[in-house]
């Protein structure tokens, strides 16, 4: 039985601390915040979202290279039962295609890689999970260190896995392609 995982990295996540606290909201007034902040370092999150269950496997690394991606593949190899074939949906980022990664995959024939088309990483559902993470945990947060930031992300990851829900496309492929065609027709016309 195959397992389908959407895999990607959210690199250079900044641990930000606003120089002033969020300004209070009142009825009819949107949240306000200052434009300046103190930056306390960055981390990169490597994540794999199980398409069927919505579970997410995540791991932090300070750098974002093929060496770190290979370490994450080792984590996946250990987390996935040996009897399962693993189909990985990846974008075309260079770290996913290096000789180190190709050798790793060649030694593990149960792993099958499927690349999203160039400039279409939005198809990869883990990107939607990254967006939810940003909206619900990172954007409004105050993180005075990388450790605080990683702790907040780990909490969101644990919450996700406590009650996982798979993402479901609400439109058919034909509806999506028709929408893209309409957008292209609208934006490519020069009026001449």
Q: Which two tokens stand for residue 118?
A: 């160039």
Q: What is the pLDDT of residue 29?
A: 63
Burial class from Cβ neighbours inside 10 Å (0-12, 13-18, 19+) for residue 5 reads buried
Predicted pLDDT of residue 119: 74
pLDDT at 192: 47
One DSSP character per residue, 1-42 reads -EEEEEEEEEEEEEEEEESSPPBPP-TT---B--S-EEEEEE
Render pLDDT for 74-129 as a digit per residue (tens, 0 to 9): 999 999 999 999 999 998 888 899 999 999 999 999 999 999 887 776 678 899 99
pLDDT higher than threshold 90 for residue 184? no
Q: How far apart are CA 28 and CA 20, in angstroms?
A: 22
Work out the mean pLDDT of the chain and round it to a whole number.
87
What tokens were used for 160? 């996700």
Is 90 exceeded by the pLDDT of residue 56? Answer: yes
Q: Residue 158's pLDDT band (boundaries 50, 70, 90)?
A: very high
Provide the pLDDT for residue 24: 60
Residue 190 scores a pLDDT above 70? no
């Amino acid at each position: 039985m195959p397992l389908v995982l959407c895999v990607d990295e959210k690199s250079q996540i900044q641990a930000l601390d606003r120089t002033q606290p969020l300004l209070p909201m009142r009825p009819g007034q949107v949240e306000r915040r200052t434009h300046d902040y103190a930056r306390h370092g960055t981390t990169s999150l490597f994540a794999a979202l199980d398409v069927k269950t919505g579970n997410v496997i995540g791991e932090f690394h300070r750098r974002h290279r093929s060496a770190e991606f290979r370490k994450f593949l080792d984590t996946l190899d250990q987390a996935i039962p040996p009897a399962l074939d693993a189909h990985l949906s990846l974008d075309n980022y260079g770290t996913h295609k290096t000789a180190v990664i190709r050798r790793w995959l060649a030694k593990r024939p149960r792993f099958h890689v499927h690349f999203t088309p160039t400039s279409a990483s939005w198809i990869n559902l883990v990107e939607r999970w990254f967006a939810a993470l940003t909206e619900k945990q990172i954007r409004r947060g105050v993180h005075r260190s990388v450790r605080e930031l990683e702790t907040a992300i780990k909490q969101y990851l644990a919450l996700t896995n406590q009650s996982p829900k798979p993402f479901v496309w609400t439109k058919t492929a034909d509806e999506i392609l028709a929408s893209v065609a309409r957008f292209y027709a609208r934006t490519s016309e020069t009026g001449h």
